[in-house]
Amino acid sequence: MEKKKVCYIISHINKSLGFEWTAASLQDEFELHFVLLGEKNTALAQFLTAHNITCHTITYTNKKDLPRAIIQVWRYLVVTKPAVVHTHLIDASLIGLTAAFFAGIATRIYTRHHSDYHIVYAPNGIKYDRWCNALATHIVAISAAVAQILETKEGVSPEKISLIHHGFNLTYFEQPEKNTVQQLQLRYNTAGKYPVIGVIARQTAFKGIHHIIAAFARLLPNYPNALLILANATGEFKPTLTQLLNTHVPPQNRCEIIFEPHIAELYALFDVHVHVPVSATCEAFGQTYVEALAARVPSVFTLSGVAPEFIVHEHNALVVPFDEVDSISEAIKRILTDSELRNKIAENGNNDVHKHFTLTKMTQKLIQLYNQN
């Protein structure tokens, strides 16, 4: 029996474990095609090629390239004739959904990877969301918060929305490679440092990293050898954060990482993980919530994105109010000084992500969605 042809269209992704896992898990069920918009020869393109998954790259820089990219994607879709087009990220969705519409593709899906970002921070982007919402026949909401934004703020019919959480290869985070952990310890100079406070978040204002820096500074009198690791240290808020670090955190107590591909081993360096976005809806999902708990790292969270759906205070993490530096600092201290609490939330957190965020759960829902028509 001939497999149904599904075409993924993705923009500006170099390396992505999530897309690698998705591709590998769906490969036996569908004839997969990937159209990658951005640079050539990315890590994702290399992975797909190595796994015999059709991959086509279209060079794309920014929205000035939109017309050309739409035509090129349209040509690809007319030739390959997929039954389903599924787009990810805003540029890919603008290009892919438009091209798929004019190519006559009946099933046009996009995954909404942002929540109310355009509404709150970048109103010029609202028109892009409206365009994608109109052209898509189905929209994947990655959290209940995203589904609510689509329904209540953007007027999308609930029948058009499917709630599908990200799925993870949880074993990857549970079994970091020991030699790589040792290499990262040397690279990031964690020897003799305690506690190591870890943050994995792009440096944009709504991630709350400025609050973490302030909370960390308050720990230093009691923990002079503490180390703050800020990973994914790029973004428009970086100059502000750099100024805060220079003012409040000595160089020997901080480490910034632009990109670390060995994410499981990076989590293994942390004594405490902190993720404190500044509102309930600024985070669309928050993969770091799941990753840290899968890695059994005791964590301090605010409830944003997917967190309200499964995070429970003192059960699988410590929950703090939005924008409260004192609460963040005190929660970190509780984890460091209460071994029973620390062990409980680490174990419960790992158990809970296995209940909600397995790769199998996500794959089954995607298969069901693709086979609707």
CA distances from 358 to 86, 110, 294, 297 (A): 21, 21, 10, 18
Q: Give yes or no: residues 228 and 300 share one domain.
A: yes
Please choose, from the candidates 25, 4, 100, 44, the residue with its C-alpha nearest in 3D space to the C-alpha of residue 358: 25
Per-residue pLDDT of the chain in tens (373 residues, 90 and over written 9): 789 999 999 999 999 999 999 999 999 999 999 999 999 999 999 999 999 999 999 999 999 999 999 999 999 999 999 999 999 999 999 999 999 999 999 999 999 999 999 999 889 999 999 999 999 999 999 999 999 999 999 999 999 999 999 999 999 999 999 999 999 999 999 999 999 999 999 999 999 999 999 999 999 999 999 999 999 999 999 999 999 999 999 999 999 999 999 999 999 999 999 999 999 999 999 999 999 999 999 999 999 999 999 999 999 999 999 999 999 999 999 999 999 999 999 999 999 999 999 999 999 999 999 999 6
> In 94-210, at which residue ranges do the beta strands (DSSP E only) sit?
107-112, 138-141, 161-163, 196-200
Q: Give yes or no: residues 141 and 184 share one domain.
A: no
- pTM, two decimals, is 0.95
Q: Give yes or no: residues 287 and 344 share one domain.
A: yes
Query: Domain residues for 317?
Result: 170-356
Supply the CATH number for residue 67's domain.
Answer: 3.40.50.2000
CA distances from 195 to 82, 173, 240, 271 (A): 51, 20, 24, 6
How many residues does the structure list for the chain? 373
Q: Give yes or no: residues 146 and 85 share one domain.
A: yes
Q: Please state whether beta strands 31-38 and 84-88 pair in parallel, antiparallel, or not at all (unpaired).
A: unpaired
Distance of alpha carbon 38 from alpha carbon 59, whole angstroms: 5
Q: Give yes or no: residues 160 and 175 share one domain.
A: no
pLDDT at 162: 98
Q: Give yes or no: residues 56 and 184 share one domain.
A: no
Please choose, from the candidates 104, 59, 57, the residue with its C-alpha nearest in 3D space to the C-alpha of residue 78: 104
Domain count, the chain: 2
Q: Give yes or no: residues 36 and 88 share one domain.
A: yes
Q: Give yes or no: residues 185 and 160 share one domain.
A: no
Roughly how many angstroms between the first and final C-alpha of the chain, as a whole number?
17
pLDDT at 1: 74
Contact of 108 with 100, CB cutoff 8 Å = yes
pLDDT at 296: 98
Kindly tell me the burial class for residue 71, based on how many C-beta atoms sit within 10 Å of its own C-beta (0-12, 13-18, 19 or more): middle
